[in-house]
Structure 1
Amino acid sequence: MGSKSKTTTLTQPVITEEVSEQILGPRRKQIGILGGTFNPVHIGHLIMAEAVGTTLGLQKVLFMPDNQPPHVDHKDAIPVGKRVTMLQAAIHDNPLFDLELAEVKRGGVSYTIDTMRALKKAHPDTDYYFIIGADMVAYLPKWRDVDKLLKLVHFVGVKRRGFAPASPYPITWVDAPLIDVSSSEIRTRVQTGQSIRYLVPDCVRAYIEKEGLYRE
């Protein structure tokens, strides 16, 4: 009888994340940032962040409340601690979301260029995707050092009815469900005794009622 020949089976090497990092270096983190006054946070903010995070496959979307916005009447903004409390309550059950309190901790007037310089220095392994609504895109030329900011972040524009998805700046455009709601509208509704149910998360509505916010 002839001897049996051996058959050699070639298997593909398993490329684990550890092996990949050894070959290619550590993977860069892809993090979204949604900045704002969040006075108060509402469902439009949450829908926008969810759409960008899932569409672009980001690891996190950080909500970054400003301490003292340069463009808002200070009389309209409640203390930052209360705004942060509402944000924490609104995002706590979504693992994609988290807080970035860099501007709150720094204090003073919040300028995006200063914040992003600090964040890039602290996290050089991270690519940041700065999220803005289509209505804000037209204001980009007025942002402090916007040309320098473009070297630090990727701008992501969220499409909105009535605003053309166009800009002289490089912007990644993302579709999201169109929800016509604003923080100023919510403040007005509270002040005039109208319902804000379904415009903000229930936990935010309960906090506004408990603290008596926006009544004057």
Structure 2
Amino acid sequence: MDKQRIGILGGTFDPPHIGHLMMAQEAVEQCKLDKVWFMPSASPPHKKMNGVTAGNDRIEMVKRTIDDVEGFKLSLIEFEREGPSYTVDTMKELKEKHPDIEFFFIIGGDSVEALHTWDRIDQLVEIITFIGIKRPGHEFESPYLDKIIAIETPLIGISSTMLRERFRHNKNTKYYVTDEVREYVEVNRLYDKR
């Protein structure tokens, strides 16, 4: 029996936006994935957590983003253990819990080029395959190119940083995030003070 092919899309998701949805959907189609698990990071080692929205709010925004999307699921594995969330530890745990699944880790082009800085990257590339999202007309530079499936998606220049700024200054966020996320952010005033 063929193993199920699951993509993991990790991130802070502060907030999740349509660029995340597009990355996940293109990975499903181009790499023939069965599902994508959205995995919010509890304590990303490369980011200072002061200034990051509370975990329960980020989880709720991801739920609202993917709630009605077939094949997209929320994974809280990084919230279920203590300490910094290193991808290599998370993927080892997932592979132990789900030996019948082949995992792929979906990352943007900037992350591809920073892979050499990831904790225990040489172990990580031996246990999973990366799906790297290319910007049109841009080739990856990485010592791990043989461990990456490169796919192209339409260029969407949206970042969570830019969205937080737009929310803070009451600028348009329609079509950048789902209506459910926009309503949640506005009702809870998540980005008013930062």
TM band (smaller chain) = over 0.9
| Contact 2:17–2:176 under 8 Å retained in 1 | yes
Tell me the distance in 2 between the aligned counterparts of 1:80 and 1:28.
32
Tell me the distance in 2 between the aligned counterparts of 1:162 and 1:191.
33
3-state DSSP of counterpart to 2:184: helix
Deviation per residue, 1:40-87 (Å, 9 max, x gap): 000100000000011111110110000011112322211111101010
Consecutive unaligned residues of structure 2, counting only runs of 5 or more, are none
Tell me the distance in 1 between the aligned counterparts of 2:29 and 2:45.
30
Question: Which residue pairs with 2:152 in the alignment?
Answer: 175
Measured at CA, do residues 176 and 84 of structure 1 come closer, stay the same or move farther in structure 2, by a change above 3 Å?
same
- Aligned pairs for 1:124-135 within 5 A: 124-135=99-110
Tell me the distance in 1 between the aligned counterparts of 2:160 and 2:138.
19
Deviation at 1:162, TM superposition (A): 7.3
Displacement over 3 Å in runs of 4+: none
Q: Percent identity?
A: 42
- Aligned pairs for 1:56-135 within 5 A: 56-135=31-110
The number of aligned residues is 191
RMSD, aligned α-carbons: 1.2
Q: Pick from 160, 171, 177: which aligns with 1:200? A: 177
TM-score by length of 2: 0.94
Q: Pick from 6, 29, 41: which aligns with 2:4? A: 29
Tell me the distance in 2 between the aligned counterparts of 1:79 and 1:162.
37
Deviation at 1:161, TM superposition (A): 4.8
Q: Pick from 118, 121, 128: which aligns with 1:153? A: 128
Tell me the distance in 1 between the aligned counterparts of 2:86 and 2:44.
8
Tell me the distance in 1 between the aligned counterparts of 2:186 and 2:11.
22
Range that drifts further, 156-165 or 204-213: 156-165
Deviation per residue, 1:140-184 (Å, 9 max, x gap): 011000010011110110012574234221210111111000000
Deviation at 1:97, TM superposition (A): 0.6
| Contact 1:43–1:201 under 8 Å retained in 2 | yes
3-state DSSP of counterpart to 2:162: helix
Tell me the distance in 2 between the aligned counterparts of 1:155 and 1:78.
27
Q: Pick from 181, 190, 193: which aligns with 1:213? A: 190
Deviation at 1:194, TM superposition (A): 1.1
Tell me the distance in 2 between the aligned counterparts of 1:175 and 1:154.
16
Letter in 1 for 2:175: Y
Question: Which residue pairs with 2:166 in the alignment?
Answer: 189
3-state DSSP of counterpart to 2:64: helix
Letter in 2 for 1:112: T
Consecutive unaligned residues of structure 1, counting only runs of 5 or more, are 1-25
| Contact 2:134–2:153 under 8 Å retained in 1 | yes
